[in-house]
Amino acid sequence: MAEVDFPARVMFRFVETLSAELGHDTLSAVLSKAGLPEEWAHHTHFMGLDDIRSARAYAHLQAALRMYYGRGARSILLRIGTKLWARLLEDSAFGLKAQSVLIRGLPKSMRRKPALELLARMLSATPGNVAVHIQDLDLLLVDRNSPATLDQSDGVPICFVTLSLIRQCLFWADGQEHDIEERACRAAGAHQCEFKITIGEQP
């Protein structure tokens, strides 16, 4: 089985966003309580990591936040995902930026799936790790890699950053709020993480 990977560029932006949201001192306290390296509080540390080490760090850092904040970690990670989308879009390679321009030129009702496919490309260190499917009138984003769940076990889904990225990506695409549910999570024993986006009869 292939090792779990995660784009180092996305990890860099995740820690940058997290540090800006929590503040350096608070992030350092989170790391200290979890026994994680102090240098992880500096997003520049992650510039030199490969995608496999980035995935491990991504999982450990989110686990540290859940340990430190308990149930409050969910709202923090949702906020991070919301703010992370704009950073990833701004930081994306030329091909992804060109794709984003094409998406915004489509009628709003046709933007959702291409926008999610853009996000899937951003989150995939290995092509195909994240995919988007049509399910009746709704959409399904499937993350077969799911780095946030690496070595994690929980009774409920924990991929709050991905869920929030999906929400913000769709809002960027069509200006609407969407009902999104992580209906399967590897941390809870599923084979892959699945996010259902309810479209229904929305315009």
CA pair distance 128, 13, nearest whole angstrom = 21
CA separation for the pair 134, 199 (Å, rounded)? 10
Residue 23, in any domain of the structure: yes
Across residues 107-111, what is the average pLDDT?
94
**Which pLDDT band holds residue 203 (cuts at 50, 70, 90)?**
very low
Please give the Cα distance from 186 to 57 (Å, whole number): 17
Query: Does residue 3 fall inside a structural domain?
Result: no
Q: For residue 26, is it within any domain?
A: yes
Percent share of the chain, pLDDT over 70: 97
* Residue 61 belongs to domain spanning: 8-198
Residue 16 falls inside a structural domain: yes
The residue with greater pLDDT, 28 or 3, is 28
Q: Residue 15 domain-assigned?
A: yes
CATH of the domain at 164: 3.90.1520.10
Question: Pseudo-torsion of CA 154, 167, 80, 86, nearest 10°?
Answer: 150
Total domains in the chain come to 1
Residue 56 lies in a domain: yes
Q: What is the pTM of this model?
A: 0.94
90 Cβ contact list (under 8 Å, min separation 6)? none
Instruction: With respect to residue 2, please indicate whether it lies within any of the assigned structural domains.
Output: no
pLDDT tens digits, one per residue of 65-97: 999 999 999 999 999 999 999 999 998 989 999
Is residue 1, in this structure, part of any structural domain at all?
no
